[in-house]
Structure 1
Amino acid sequence: MLSLSSSHSYYLYAAAVDMRKSFDGLCGLIRNQTDKNPASGEVFVFLNRSRTLLKLLHWEHGGFVLYYKRLEQGTFTPPLLPGAGNRIRWPELVLMIEGIQVERSIQKLRYGP
């Protein structure tokens, strides 16, 4: 069941990934290359070198879910990640998956606890 939404935390893996990796291989990358737990409920986003393949790894109740998208034409353009960390927001992920590139945007300040 597709259950991704803006309530999750999303992390873009910085390096290009061999897309032959499945659940265990991607979990190994997360454990060994970041300080995160793959079963934490966060969503991890992976791109291949040519940026035509995208995988999202997510832990749901009872097991891992792997979402996979292959582009027949064009490439995914990852968002610019300001500052430290590879956390991306839900709107940035949706724009990247849909192939929408914003040339200039301004994020208005919003209250956040």
Structure 2
Amino acid sequence: MLGFPSHQRFYVYTVDTDMRCGYNRLSGIVRNELQCNPLNGDVYIFFNKPRDIIKLLV
């Protein structure tokens, strides 16, 4: 189980994401689609199409 500080915000990207994406592509999605800075300490959550795999960008 992961522990996160109470002040940390979580963003869920609701568009199906290719789970082959690495840090660079996911951080590009955060910058371009979510209009956020991926290095600000928030948590970004990505799901694949069947919603059985998730990736967290922390």
Normalising by structure 2, we get a TM-score of: 0.87
RMSD of aligned Cα (Å): 1.3
Q: Which residue of 2 aligns with 1:39?
A: 39
Tell me by how many angstroms 1:36 deviates. 0.4
- Alpha-carbon deviations, 1:54-101, whole Å to 9, x = none? 11101xxxxxxxxxxxxxxxxxxxxxxxxxxxxxxxxxxxxxxxxxxx
Percent identity over paired residues: 37
Q: Which residue of 1 aligns with 2:9?
A: 9
The residue identity in structure 2 corresponding to 1:17 is: T
Question: Which runs of 5 or more structure 1 residues have no equivalent in the other structure?
Answer: 59-113
Q: Which residue of 2 aligns with 1:66?
A: none
Question: Which runs of 5 or more structure 2 residues have no equivalent in the other structure?
Answer: none
Q: Which residue of 2 aligns with 1:54?
A: 54
Greater Rg by CA: 1
Count of residue pairs brought into register by the alignment:
57
Aligned partner of residue 20 in structure 2, secondary structure: coil
Aligned partner of residue 17 in structure 1, secondary structure: coil
The residue identity in structure 2 corresponding to 1:48 is: N
The structure with higher relative contact order (CA 8 Å, sep 6+) is 2
The residue identity in structure 1 corresponding to 2:52 is: T
Q: What is the alpha-carbon distance in structure 2 between the residues aligned to residue 8 and residue 18 of structure 1?
A: 25
Which 4+ runs in 1 deviate beyond 4 A?
none
Normalising by structure 1, we get a TM-score of: 0.47
